[in-house]
A and B are shown apart, each in its own frame.
Chain A
């Protein structure tokens, strides 16, 4: 068994155990809802981790894709009379297409330029959902009908906990497969040296576009699930702050680490809930916590702790 296969099994196993244990420890509806939010955010963060951590391409407008998934899930039933699940899948597809079309010109940019271009994309999506009041409901948001599968009304925090958990497990499995494949190695290679990657026969532009589309699909899927869970969508889902939150999840968990994206998503989703205890100061404390994490675990939580652990074992 290769080291990659071993760590793949370890992560998926840990995640599966976690999915089973959390409801036993925190059985309240509130806790299960927060956990479902963690799984959803983790799905979006995973996609971004592939884009940023694996391939080294930044996106500061990723909430735009989250919003496309969320709004498609809301708009399909409202305007076209479509099934919410079908609408969500259409939204995921649309996000992929948009990423493909937009990615071609903007992925030629590097570093800060790419960051600003993706930022623009995110702001554009936000602008559309806020201003197209007749279609999207504007700043007031829009309701999402209840999901009904084969006559079964999908309700209850336990059910949504399970659904989002299973989707996360699948999303993690797919991300890990990608990482340990020819394409995954090509993405990691172009992260370190685009020149050497190209000379090794890697079509750099094509691979960047591919991972951008994958990241958009992950985000749109998360957005759709979020809409179905909350049964309501507001332009907040597309906001710049959302994009930054997603980037922070990836960075704080550890760039280039699939497990890190999940840990980062969990931290940034759960911490604000815990910090309500501080009332007016919760944002300040959250900010301070992020700064401290970055100071003491510079590479992010998962790689940072793994490094400490390895050093401890050698000593």
Chain B
């Protein structure tokens, strides 16, 4: 069942068509990988879908509902969560608090109760802590919960972002290069997380440069090149597509690949 769908999404920055009529669909319980050379428009697509940019043409549907142009916090309320290629961590907060922020929409926020520190607020805080701790355990960071977020190494921060995104109990999770800069052990950890999430029924959309990772974990692959959809299909089909190889390696590369 299609959770997230984009139709004919287009955007230009100062005359450069960053996205040109891109359509895609992500289904519940499935991993959709978006790949393509640098500048293909992958992160731009993420930014449009998550409400950070506004598409100049095209529509976005979440659970069949037209959500085009909604602001990011409204999309989050409808079940969309994402991580960032260049980390967006709350560095002044503890690891645990970062994940608790992800629970924002699940918390009942009544300002006056909060100002007076009523028991209901304290209960809510405890519940958020408990859930956040469980998520930290899921991504393997439980022992760092009370540390300042800035003390974590890069790979751990990537997983912290995933935990924070999961805290909102999303239906669609968008991961922008979750394995970038991670060592092989950390990458394997990301593998495990993504597959577990898809099994839990979440529609996972990820942008990734690590082709081995993409081939291992994705159900479908969408290839972008210069703002257009170049190919779409199962990982094996896409890998064998000459247009894809050409986009990645150029004509010369294509010949070399054939020769090999």
Contact = CB atoms under 8 A, between A and B. Distances in A.
A44 B97 CA distance: 27
B90 A203 contact: no
A67 B91 CA distance: 36
A131 B14 CA distance: 49
Contacts of B142: none
Nearest to A180: B125
A177 B121 contact: yes
A174 B198 CA distance: 43
Given A192-B89, A200-B164, A201-B73, A185 B116 contact: no
A185 B104 contact: yes
Contacts of A188: 90, 92-93, 97, 101
A178 B88 contact: no
Interface string A186-215: 101101110111111111100000100000
Contacts of B111: 183, 210
B103 to A, nearest CB: 8
Nearest to B129: A2
B218 interface: no
Interface string B68-95: 0001110011000110100011111100
A204 B51 CA distance: 14
A181 B90 contact: no
B257 interface: no
B50 interface: yes
A181 B93 contact: no
A210 B129 CA distance: 24
B92 A198 contact: no
A81 interface: no
B259 interface: no
B81 A189 contact: no
B71 A189 contact: no
Contact of A198 (B73, B91, B109): B73
A177 B90 contact: no
A151 interface: no
Contacts of A178: 114-115
Given A2-B125, A200-B164, A183 B91 contact: no
A232 interface: no
B10 interface: no
Main secondary structure, interface of A, reads helix
A181 B92 contact: no
A3 interface: yes
B184 interface: no
Contacts of A185: 93, 97, 100-101, 104
Contacts of A184: 114
A256 B117 contact: no
B105 interface: yes
B143 to A, nearest CB: 16
B104 A182 contact: yes
Contacts of B114: 177-178, 181-184
Nearest to B50: A199
Contacts of A193: 88-90
A173 interface: yes
B146 interface: yes
Given A185-B100, A204-B73, 6 more contacts: A176-B117, A177-B114, A177-B117, A186-B101, A188-B97, A202-B104
Interface of B: 50-52, 71-73, 76-77, 81-82, 84, 88-93, 97, 100-105, 107, 109, 111, 114-117, 121, 124-125, 128-129, 146, 164-165, 167-168
25 contacts: A3-B146, A174-B116, A177-B115, A178-B114, A178-B115, A180-B117, A181-B114, A181-B117, A181-B125, A182-B109, A183-B111, A188-B90, A188-B101, A189-B93, A189-B104, A192-B92, A192-B93, A197-B101, A198-B71, A198-B72, A200-B81, A200-B167, A201-B76, A201-B168, A202-B73
